[in-house]
Amino acid sequence: MSDESFVLVGTPMPVIKTTTNALGESKRINPTRDLEVRDEQGRRRFHGAFTGGFSAGYYNTVGSKEGWAPSEFVSSRDKRSEKKIARPEDFMDEEDKQMLMDSARLTTTDEFGSSESTQRELEKKRAAAKQAAGGVLGALPDTLIDDFVVPSSENVGVKLLRRMGWKPGQGIGPRVTKRQKKSKDGQLSDDDVDLPANMTFAPIDSAIVVFINKSDNFGLGYDPYKDAPEFDRSLQARTESKYLSESAGGRKDGMGFGRFDDDDDDDVYGSGPAPLRTLDPDLILDDRSRSQRKKSKKKEIQQSDALAPMFCSDGRPPLRGFVLAAAPLEPIKLYKPPKVPRDFVPHHTFQDMPKPVATLRKNEQPKLTADDRALILGETPIDAPRRSVFEYMSAQTKRDLDNALGFVMDTEGDKSLRKDHWTVPQIDKGAAEAALRGFMPFGDNMAKQNRYKQYLNVQAGISDEKIDLVEGFTAEGMTKELNEFVQAARIFKPLTSSMANRFMSASTTVQLAPPTAGLRSAADTEAARLAGTITHAVVERMEVPKSQAAKAAAMGMFGPLTRTVIDFYPVKLLCKRFNVPNPHPDHKDTGPEAAKDLLDKDTMDKMMTNRRYGEGMSAEDATSRSSGTDAPGAMNDTGTDSLAEAEEPEVLEVIPERPPMDIFKAIFDDSDSDSDSDSESEDKDESDTKGEAARGKDTVSIGATAIADSSPLDAKDAKEDSPQVPFRPVFTRKTDRSTSSTTSRPAEKRFSKPDLSHLNEDEDEDESEIGPKLAIPSASNLSVKKKSVSLVDNAGVGGVAAVVEASSPDRSSSPSSDSLIGPVPPTLVAADAGKRRKSASESDQDSHVGEKTGDSFASKRHKGSASSSSRHKSSSSKLDDRTDRHSRSSHSRHRSSSKTRRRPRNDGSDDDNDGNKDGSDTDKSGASGDEESNKKRRKEHSSSTSSRHKDRQHREHTSRSRSKSPTSSRRKSHRRDKDKGDDRERQSKRSRDEKSSRSTHRSSRHRSRKHGDDGDNDEDMEDLWVEKEVKIPERERTPDNPPLRVAPPSNRPRATSFF
């Protein structure tokens, strides 16, 4: 009804129906990873490690939950258990059974004639076949099988015959009368009485005579297997198996009706039993001819016909079955054996074969003594005193001899063996002098120490005393002690000389014979070894390099050298359990408790201080250091200050001596210096920027850089320019913190600590100074304002174009690119700035996952961001100039924060990616570098928090006005998101940093553990170093000792790359 009210226009599109397979799943193409293999029940067949599990072993084994269920035990006492024969089918699953069914079609069905006639017929056939064939091969298997296996369906010939009136069991041909039949067969003789005379009978069915073509070359009637029944059997088996396999292969059609001719896929070559195939081809039945026979009987007959008229050479035709060869046989060619030369020796000797070992041995035998031979043979040496002629003399004779020849010789054996003799072992004069200057061991036994000193004095040639036998000593003991002295002198040297010992000399001298060309046999080398020409340097165990402490320990001189004492910070609960007060109440945990308070103002400030004063310094040190210069008014009244000022001339002297940056770059800055960026202290960041700034690339940022420079050197500069107002406020900010910790500290600590920090700071400076010093080559005396101005002027040379591009290329500008891009070879630094910028931006972009904009976009954005940031910087610096009471720290914060901001904007303001990126950073940079970079990041964050808000304002303003890129709006939205998640992100990042640094620590520990003793020794050495360095400030405590710098950085071993 309702259908009629609608008008259908056009033919409706066929319904797109999803084709489904048998399991009801749609057949749309799945990606490869989603494809699953299932069986017909829809169960998964293959399981991954995490998807399979229980069901993998549950469902897919034998199809039951239980798997192989053990058969139940049935007592056979009253019930005989049936003998169960396991069939293969029992162990098959459905699939296997299906396969078996598919393959096994050898089944008798009811279609096979069960009628009497057929059976009779078969019997007859069998008999006939037996008759026809006879002999051993009589019951030819093929016919036999043919008869057994009667086709289930009639072929066309049979059908035709039926149509013509033939019935099964009848013979073929015209019907015969009774008489005719009788003459042929006496079968029907019984019932001929009843039969009418005119009755005709079907002809008697007779077996078809199969004429077997003789295709072999045997004689007639020859049976090759007559006397070899095993061959016969194997042949039989072969044929049988062949037919069996044929029938098993699903061949239903019968044989004997001419269809046999067509099968040419008989595998006649491959499937025969092995013994037959290994026979002489003449002896075996020719398989090939058999197959040929099967293929085409006619052809063969024709062939034989065609060959028949040919006659043999004697005029007679060839024997039946033989064929004359078309071409005469080629006579076998026989070659004469080669003539053996007369002087031929049946044993081959090489021209340059080494002489037999025996002769060599004979030659060198006189060289070996009996002892040598014993050694070679591995005999244990006889533990007996040295043999000497004098041993065999009587005591009286010996005495006489001594009296007579006493001035010439001493018969009483080796001097060293004598009880009352002792020798003074000699050491180098230099060694003795060095030992005198070094550590004096035997501090617990002053007498011994004095003897040691005396010995050294004698050896150094300072005194001419003769070392006498000390009373209470035996000669043996004296020798022992002197040897001890020698060892001690070897060990206890001043550190400078022990530095030289870092370079190991080879423990053994390898003296190799000049190599001779050519091959050598094993006997040869053996001979050479015996002769001792080859020194086996490898065999000798290399002496393990031992540290000083290890040497001392080996000598049994345990004590200060083998002992190290470090601070150990038990946790609160541990102290509680041990019922002891916390030994380090000032020590702050670096554990998870500390991580909580990372955003504290206090922590922030600490981090800021750390950054400013270098890595090796703790926050306390920094605080105490800065405390002296804290209050603007209290500049000159504390002792610390004067000390600091006294230092300054020294520092200033150092600065101009530093060679230009390029030399450093050329030496240290490798193309693959990923590690370079890793090992740098965080100051390097800024200093690098400055270095580039000095080259006039970054004009606008220089002002800010110069002012905001917070490297220790400049801090000193600041102190030097004490009247300069803008520097002061850095320190005022920390007064609240420093008052608590520093005021209560004893004065001496104040003295020592800053010096310590100074040392540490120097360590860091060695690498990081480079930038700042170059940036301010000689302007250290200028005021800050002047400095900024002059530097702006300097940089003005670079031009405006450089201004725009300055921000991105240098490594330091975007810390993220630091580890990702890898630094550029130093030669390229100056020349290919533009190219580098491009590459940097590209790789920068590559590194950020979320970004999808193209190259052009990125570069545009880079430009935009760079210009905006630089603009911001300049404006901020102006602003700061205007607000003249603005602190220097705020300057620096501005600077660093703007830098921090600049980085994300280089990333296309994808601050959301910040976390990811940082993570990747951490992964990529080396283990040691991690901590550095982490600190760097942390610091940046800390700095950024202070003036973030302001900065953002700037940034938004500039980006709104300047950036023309289509992504600006997107960026804004991003920023809004970022504002929300900023803190959270930072927190997470920090925790990550913590983790990574911890892991670094662990890995380093692991490394050192792997190094084992060596690492330990190194550590010890370093500890010694530290101890040494620590001692210096103590000396300074005395007023007459002027404060001194320990050593110029270039000379100090730590600054070099040997460590």
Q: Choose the binding region for other proteins from 167-175, 265-273, 349-357, 550-558 (rule: CB under 8 A).
A: 550-558
Q: Choose the binding region for other proteins from 90-98, 549-557, 649-657, 769-777 (rule: CB under 8 A).
A: 549-557
Q: Which residues pair with 176 in a beta bridge?
A: 201
Choice from 559, 777, 1042, 1048 touching other proteins (CB under 8 A): 559
* Of 481 and 709, CB closest to other proteins: 481
Q: Which residues pair with 200 in a beta bridge?
A: 177
Q: DSSP label at 324?
A: -
Contacts of 354 (CB under 8 A, 6+ apart): 520, 521, 523, 524, 527
Least Cβ distance, residue 914 to other proteins (angstroms): 32
Choice from 445, 483, 533, 843 touching other proteins (CB under 8 A): 445
Does residue 619 touch other proteins according to CB under 8 A? no
Does residue 521 touch other proteins according to CB under 8 A? no
Closest CA to 817 of 849, 839, 850: 839
* Of 167 and 584, CB closest to other proteins: 584
Site residues (CB under 8 A) for other proteins, limited to 170-229: none
Least Cβ distance, residue 477 to other proteins (angstroms): 5
Choice from 558, 879, 883, 977 touching other proteins (CB under 8 A): 558
Does residue 102 touch other proteins according to CB under 8 A? no
Locus of tokens 């084709």: 19
- SS3 at position 277: helix
Does residue 30 touch other proteins according to CB under 8 A? no
* Of 985 and 1019, CB closest to other proteins: 1019
Site residues (CB under 8 A) for other proteins, limited to 998-1057: 1002, 1005, 1008-1009, 1012-1013, 1015-1016, 1020
Rounded Cα gap, residues 990 and 914, in angstroms: 12
* Of 448 and 1054, CB closest to other proteins: 448
**Are 200 and 175 a contacting pair, CB within 8 Å?**
yes
Q: Choose the binding region for other proteins from 34-42, 154-162, 521-529, 558-566 (rule: CB under 8 A).
A: 558-566
* Of 214 and 1011, CB closest to other proteins: 1011
Choice from 470, 510, 513, 663 touching other proteins (CB under 8 A): 470
* Of 913 and 1017, CB closest to other proteins: 1017
Q: Choose the binding region for other proteins from 125-133, 571-579, 610-618, 946-954 (rule: CB under 8 A).
A: 571-579
Choice from 197, 522, 566, 800 touching other proteins (CB under 8 A): 566
Does residue 324 touch other proteins according to CB under 8 A? no
Least Cβ distance, residue 561 to other proteins (angstroms): 9
Site residues (CB under 8 A) for other proteins, limited to 477-496: 477, 480-481
Phi/psi-derived region of residue 799, left when phi > 0, alpha when psi is between -120 and 50, beta in every other case: left
Least Cβ distance, residue 488 to other proteins (angstroms): 14
* Of 494 and 570, CB closest to other proteins: 570
Contacts 24+ apart (CB under 8 A), 1051-1057: 1052/762, 1052/766, 1053/499, 1053/1025, 1054/763, 1054/766, 1054/1025, 1055/763, 1055/766, 1055/767
Rounded Cα gap, residues 793 and 413, in angstroms: 90
Q: Choose the binding region for other proteins from 473-481, 676-684, 753-761, 895-903 (rule: CB under 8 A).
A: 473-481
**Are 815 and 844 a contacting pair, CB within 8 Å?**
no
Q: Choose the binding region for other proteins from 224-232, 313-321, 563-571, 958-966 (rule: CB under 8 A).
A: 563-571
Q: Where are the alpha helices (DSSP H) in 506-556?
A: 522-531, 548-554
Rounded Cα gap, residues 280 and 288, in angstroms: 14
Q: Choose the binding region for other proteins from 141-149, 469-477, 643-651, 755-763 (rule: CB under 8 A).
A: 469-477
Amino acid type, 433: E
Q: Choose the binding region for other proteins from 500-508, 542-550, 653-661, 669-677 (rule: CB under 8 A).
A: 542-550
Compute how many other C-beta atoms are within 10 angstroms of the C-beta atom of residue 606: 20
Does residue 594 touch other proteins according to CB under 8 A? no
* Of 569 and 857, CB closest to other proteins: 569
* Of 583 and 966, CB closest to other proteins: 583
Does residue 55 touch other proteins according to CB under 8 A? no
Contacts of 264 (CB under 8 A, 6+ apart): 291, 294, 295
Q: Considering CB under 8 A, how many residues would be counted as binding other proteins?
A: 52
Rounded Cα gap, residues 958 and 1004, in angstroms: 45
Does residue 395 touch other proteins according to CB under 8 A? no
**Are 916 and 820 a contacting pair, CB within 8 Å?**
no
Least Cβ distance, residue 1006 to other proteins (angstroms): 9
Rounded Cα gap, residues 147 and 255, in angstroms: 8
Rounded Cα gap, residues 488 and 442, in angstroms: 9
Least Cβ distance, residue 482 to other proteins (angstroms): 11
Retrieve residue 327's tokens.
Answer: 């071409």
Does residue 236 touch other proteins according to CB under 8 A? no
Choice from 510, 571, 663, 849 touching other proteins (CB under 8 A): 571
- b/e map of 376-387 (b: 16 or more CB within 10 Å)? eeeeeeeeeeee
DSSP β-ladder status, 176-177 and 200-201: antiparallel
Least Cβ distance, residue 1002 to other proteins (angstroms): 8
How far is Cα of residue 615 from the mean position of the Cα atoms in its chain?
33
Choice from 318, 570, 696, 822 touching other proteins (CB under 8 A): 570
The continuous run of DSSP H or E covering 569 comes out as none
Does residue 450 touch other proteins according to CB under 8 A? no
* Of 36 and 1013, CB closest to other proteins: 1013
Choice from 434, 456, 549, 791 touching other proteins (CB under 8 A): 549
Does residue 556 touch other proteins according to CB under 8 A? yes
Rounded Cα gap, residues 64 and 86, in angstroms: 18
* Of 135 and 583, CB closest to other proteins: 583
Least Cβ distance, residue 416 to other proteins (angstroms): 17
C-alpha atoms less than 13 angstroms from C-alpha of 853 in its C-beta half-sphere = 22
* Of 589 and 793, CB closest to other proteins: 589
Phi/psi-derived region of residue 378, left when phi > 0, alpha when psi is between -120 and 50, beta in every other case: left
**Are 121 and 169 a contacting pair, CB within 8 Å?**
yes
Does residue 592 touch other proteins according to CB under 8 A? no
Site residues (CB under 8 A) for other proteins, limited to 722-751: 746
C-alpha atoms less than 13 angstroms from C-alpha of 608 in its C-beta half-sphere = 29
Retrieve residue 490's tokens.
Answer: 């070897």
Does residue 9 touch other proteins according to CB under 8 A? no
* Of 487 and 699, CB closest to other proteins: 487
Closest CA to 1007 of 891, 888, 948, 926: 926
Closest CA to 761 of 1057, 1055, 1056, 1059: 1055
* Of 561 and 693, CB closest to other proteins: 561
Choice from 476, 593, 600, 846 touching other proteins (CB under 8 A): 476
Least Cβ distance, residue 546 to other proteins (angstroms): 8
Amino acid type, 1039: P
Q: DSSP label at 682?
A: T
Contacts of 603 (CB under 8 A, 6+ apart): 594, 597, 942
Q: Which residues bind other proteins (CB under 8 A)?
A: 444-445, 448, 470, 472-474, 476-477, 480-481, 546, 549-550, 553-554, 556-560, 562-571, 573-575, 577-584, 746, 1002, 1005, 1008-1009, 1012-1013, 1015-1016, 1020
